[in-house]
């Protein structure tokens, strides 16, 4: 055993996937360039720029579109052996379907080839909250025609890039467009309509299954999965009412996507809940067969914070819109550890609990931590004399989560990798650049200059040592 290994208390398998995750809208910039069509973010920013922090919109994201060669060299310098990015549907198909944009194919081909030249495996996600506006006008995920257009888009990606990309993902966090777009108003179309939310969720599951079928039919030799934010729902106490509240939150926010994606079926208790409230989605009989027969090969798990719930304190207004909180209240646990900039609880054991749940209840499917990260405001405060951000808090955050991942791995969890959010500071939906997450800092005032943070050098050492 080498001295390097001996020094490391937490050693990971030699083929572990170390890298980071990103998304097209949050990183590419140039949202009107080279024939790209509008997506919902481009449209919403144009219509209501006041919703976006400091008025920064999706055209001014981190300029990966022009700086990707420099960025991929920085990935190599920080030790990445894999990198997840998303393809912009509206860059590939400006109208969502029909004629493909050759300049988009050229762009993504060059990214994939540059990653491979630098021994970084591309993990490609097809949908990250960025519905083409032309498709939104057809109803977005409410519409079956949009499901079909998505499968056409996915198939085009498989045909053009599937000879080199061996890890595909149909959606990133599909519950988020449901919650944020159709219940809580954080994403376009910013509705509060539980019936539409359920339909959007169902069609997202159906679209994923159909894309999985299209991929497997092509026999390209890779794997296709989905990325889910499997947020554990912890009850306030072991009182039956608190336990029931946590179970309902889990059914709505986790198992609604986890069960059909991995097992091919929706939980009976969830179906019963929706039937009782008269919110079952519209579907065709063969849809359930497609979902059952086309489950994922691989599961990506995003984890940032737990969900803590308790039984309802008060009866909801019977005349108000139906919301998930009809079943539970959020519980603010005294003494919890918090990231003060995001207001999110830091609970490292949550990642272990997720991995054990997947091991015990989902056939121990091959999985990896596809996002885990810490957003901090005004990070320039922590620059040293050489201009490097001393983000020791981020290093601690990662190490404390990796300890629990290591424990799950040693207990037989089939976890294959760890991707941080994110490679470089990027634009974060309505928050724009308020909180920084990157291993690399981006200076918006100085030509978007990239500088490796202390955590980036730590990450390189982590990968070289395969542990810490």
Backbone phi, psi, residue 14, to 5°:
-70, -20
pLDDT at 8 over 90: no
CB 185 within 8 A of CB 192: yes
Structural domain count, the chain: 1
Q: Can you give the pLDDT at residue 165?
A: 98
| Residue of 83, 67, 75, 90 whose CA lies nearest to 17 | 83
CB 143 within 8 A of CB 99: no
CB 431 within 8 A of CB 385: no
CA distance from start to end of the chain: 15
Q: Which of 360 and 342 is assigned the larger pLDDT?
A: 360
Q: Can you give the pLDDT at residue 7?
A: 67
Backbone phi, psi, residue 68, to 5°:
-65, -30
SS3 383: strand
Please, which pLDDT band fits residue 1 given cuts at 50, 70 and 90?
very low
Question: For residue 189, is the peptide bond before it cis, meaning its omega torsion is within 30 degrees of 0?
Answer: yes
**Residues acting as catalytic residues:** 371
Q: Can you give the pLDDT at residue 208?
A: 99
Query: Across residues 73-96, what is the average pLDDT?
Result: 98
Please, which pLDDT band fits residue 344 given cuts at 50, 70 and 90?
very high
Q: Can you give the pLDDT at residue 461?
A: 98
pLDDT tens digits, residue range 438-457? 999 999 999 999 999 999 99
Find where tokens 């920080």 sit. 78
Query: Across residues 73-85, what is the average pLDDT?
Result: 98
Please, which pLDDT band fits residue 337 given cuts at 50, 70 and 90?
very high
Please, which pLDDT band fits residue 6 given cuts at 50, 70 and 90?
low
CB 85 within 8 A of CB 125: yes
State the pTM of this model. Answer: 0.97
Record the tokens describing residue 366, joined without a space.
């091959």
Query: Across residues 119-144, what is the average pLDDT?
Result: 98
Residue-averaged pLDDT of the chain: 96
Please, which pLDDT band fits residue 342 given cuts at 50, 70 and 90?
confident
pLDDT at 391 over 60: yes
pLDDT tens digits, residue range 291-327? 999 999 999 999 999 999 999 999 999 999 999 999 9
Question: For residue 52, is the peptide bond before it cis, meaning its omega torsion is within 30 degrees of 0?
Answer: no
Query: Across residues 41-70, what is the average pLDDT?
Result: 94
Burial of 276 (0-12, 13-18, 19+ CB in 10 A): exposed
CA distance 168 to 158: 9
Q: Can you give the pLDDT at residue 396?
A: 97
Which DSSP state fits 10?
S
Q: Can you give the pLDDT at residue 60?
A: 84
pLDDT at 108 over 80: yes
Which of 156-160, 408-412, 428-432 is predicted least confidently? 428-432
CA distance 460 to 86: 23
pLDDT at 2 over 90: no
Query: Across residues 359-385, what is the average pLDDT?
Result: 96
pLDDT at 232 over 90: yes
SS3 249: helix
Q: Percentage of the chain surpassing pLDDT 90?
A: 96
Q: Can you give the pLDDT at residue 31?
A: 86
SS3 345: strand
Q: Can you give the pLDDT at residue 80?
A: 98
* Structural domain range at position 373: 3-465
Please, which pLDDT band fits residue 367 given cuts at 50, 70 and 90?
very high
pLDDT tens digits, residue range 52-64? 999 999 988 999 9
* CATH number for the domain harbouring residue 19: 3.20.20.80
pLDDT tens digits, residue range 241-250? 999 999 999 9
């Amino acid at each position: 055993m080498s001295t390097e290994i001996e020094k490391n208390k937490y050693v990971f398998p030699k083929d572990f996937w170390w890298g980071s995750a990103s998304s097209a809208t949050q990183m590419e910039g140039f949202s009107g360039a080279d024939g790209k069509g509008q997506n919902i973010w481009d449209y919403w920013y144009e219509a209501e720029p006041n919703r976006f922090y400091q008025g920064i919109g999706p055209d001014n994201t981190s300029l990966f579109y022009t700086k990707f060669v420099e960025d991929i060299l920085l990935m190599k310098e920080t030790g990445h052996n894999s990198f997840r990015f998303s393809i912009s549907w509206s860059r590939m198909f400006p109208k969502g379907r029909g004629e493909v944009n050759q300049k988009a194919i050229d762009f993504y081909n060059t990214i994939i080839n540059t990653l491979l030249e630098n021994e970084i495996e591309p993990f490609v996600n097809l949908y990250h909250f960025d519905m083409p506006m032309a498709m939104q006008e057809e109803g977005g995920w409410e519409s079956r025609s949009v499901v079909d257009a998505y499968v056409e888009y996915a198939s085009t990606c498989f045909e053009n890039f599937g000879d080199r990309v061996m890890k595909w993902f149909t959606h990133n966090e599909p519950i988020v467009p449901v919650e944020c777009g159709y219940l809580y108003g954080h994403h376009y179309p910013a509705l509060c309509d539980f019936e539409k939310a359920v339909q959007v969720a169902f069609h997202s599951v159906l679209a994923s299954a159909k894309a999985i079928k299209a991929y497997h039919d092509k026999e390209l030799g890779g794997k296709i999965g989905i990325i889910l934010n499997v947020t554990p729902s912890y009850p306030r106490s072991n009182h039956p009412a608190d336990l029931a509240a946590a179970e309902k939150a889990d059914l709505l926010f986790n198992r609604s996507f986890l069960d059909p994606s991995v097992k091919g079926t929706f939980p009976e208790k969830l179906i019963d809940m929706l039937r009782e409230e008269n919110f079952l989605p519209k579907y065709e009989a063969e849809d359930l067969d497609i979902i059952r027969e086309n489950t994922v090969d691989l599961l990506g798990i995003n984890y940032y914070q737990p969900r803590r719930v308790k039984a309802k304190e008060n009866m909801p207004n019977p005349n108000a819109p139906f919301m998930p909180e009809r079943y539970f209240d959020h519980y603010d646990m005294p003494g919890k550890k918090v990231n003060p900039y995001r207001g999110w609880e830091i609970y490292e054991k949550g990642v272990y609990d997720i991995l054990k749940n997947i091991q015990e209840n989902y056939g121990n499917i091959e999985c990896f931590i596809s996002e885990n990260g810490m957003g901090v405001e005004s990070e320039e405060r922590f620059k040293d004399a050489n201009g490097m951000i001393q983000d020791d808090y981020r290093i601690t955050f990662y190490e404390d989560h990796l300890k629990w991942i290591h424990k799950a791995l040693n207990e037989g969890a089939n976890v294959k990798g760890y991707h941080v959010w994110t490679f470089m500071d990027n634009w974060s939906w309505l928050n724009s650049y308020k909180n920084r997450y990157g291993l690399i800092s981006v200076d918006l005032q100085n030509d978007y200059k990239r500088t490796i943070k202390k955590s980036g050098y730590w990450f390189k050492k982590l990968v070289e040592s395969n542990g810490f």
